[in-house]
Amino acid sequence: MPLAAVGQMRSTPSLHQNLTQAQSLVRKAHAAGASVLFLPEAADYITTAPSHSLCKPVSDSEFVTGLQEAAKQYALPISVGVHEPAPGSKVANTLLWINTSGEITHHYQKLHLFDVSIAHGPQLQESKTVERGSHLPTPFLTPIGQLGVQICFDLRFPEPALSLRSRGAQVITYPSAFTIPTGRAGHWEILLRARAIETQSYVVAAAQVGVHDEGGKRRSWGHSMIVDPWGKIVAELGGDEGGEGEGMWEDEGEIAVAEIDLEYLEKVRREVPLVRRTDVYPKIA
């Protein structure tokens, strides 16, 4: 059975440093015998300052071209979240699929943007700087099955996951930079397992972890994981619990792997058939 590798990293404003981390994860995934490597949202950079100088077309991004070279060198497909220029002054939060030849064959632009104002917690307005996507791509064939793609905050909406399942998805990925307060509240694990159970699919969620800037304004929960179609966590990495007095989270750059058993997936779907009452409520296509 093929192995999926989920990678966890701590992106900073340094494209070079982030590429070094990502390339290390490629080597680790290859050594582990993985068929696919999943990297987090915003793997190219995370910054609290204006970032237009860091956001480049993929053809000009040293981060992206470096990963394309690594994918080709190790014959390892890579799913990775990056930023791309969007019309006007905004950027696009996108997910790229890089094949074993180092070619970018699929793009997805994040549909649901993270606009939150949590008391004594994150104050983030992603929509101020990011252009939302307008298309949910059809799942595509990968070495681990038909893959449906989403990004982070999309996780809170079951409709696109159900749509991806109805269109043939066997695996759904949610690359993320999840916040500490929502992670502490259990939302990360609960939502990932819920999406796996309700779609009877594998869910692969590569996450950012730790402090991303010197001022400590941005930090991510971590706990990258792979969940099977029964809702069982079959691979998980550690996280940043965000405790008072904690410094920089240094244990970045790790992978976890799990087998993707499509026969088991079909067994779950066969034994617990989800027959929807579309005569009563609308069909999600």
Buried b (16+ CB within 10 A) or exposed e, 45-64: bbbeeebeebbbebeebebb
Determine which one of 41, 131, 236, 252 is catalytic. Answer: 41
User: What residue spans define the domains of the chain?
Assistant: 3-271
Q: What is the pTM of this model?
A: 0.95
Contact partners, residue 39, CB within 8 Å, separation at least 6: 7, 9, 22, 25, 78, 79, 80, 81, 175, 206
Instruction: Quote the pLDDT of residue 169.
Output: 98
Q: Please tell me the total number of residues recorded for the chain in this structure.
A: 285
Is 152 assigned a catalytic role?
A: yes
Alpha helices (H) along 133-258: 158-166, 180-184, 187-199
| Inter-helix orientation angle 62-74/15-31, to 10° | 10
Instruction: Quote the pLDDT of residue 209.
Output: 95
Determine which one of 84, 152, 236, 252 is catalytic. Answer: 152
Is 41 assigned a catalytic role?
A: yes
Q: What homologous superfamily does CATH list for 3-271?
A: Carbon-nitrogen hydrolase (3.60.110.10)
| DSSP per-residue string spanning 75-129 | T--EEEEEEEE-STT-EEEEEEEE-TTS-EEEEEE-SS--EEE-TTS-EEEGGGT
pLDDT along the chain (285 residues), means of 10: 97 95 97 98 89 88 98 98 93 98 98 85 82 97 98 98 98 96 95 98 97 84 98 96 57 89 98 97 93
Determine which one of 84, 110, 131, 236 is catalytic. Answer: 110
Determine the 3-state secondary structure of 271 from DSSP: helix
In whole angstroms, what is the distance from residue 155 CA to residue 161 CA?
Answer: 8
In whole angstroms, what is the distance from residue 10 CA to residue 209 CA?
Answer: 5
In whole angstroms, what is the distance from residue 243 CA to residue 84 CA?
Answer: 33
Is 283 assigned a catalytic role?
A: no
For the chain, the first-to-last Cα distance in angstroms comes to: 30
Instruction: Quote the pLDDT of residue 33.
Output: 98
Instruction: Quote the pLDDT of residue 154.
Output: 98
Instruction: Quote the pLDDT of residue 246.
Output: 52
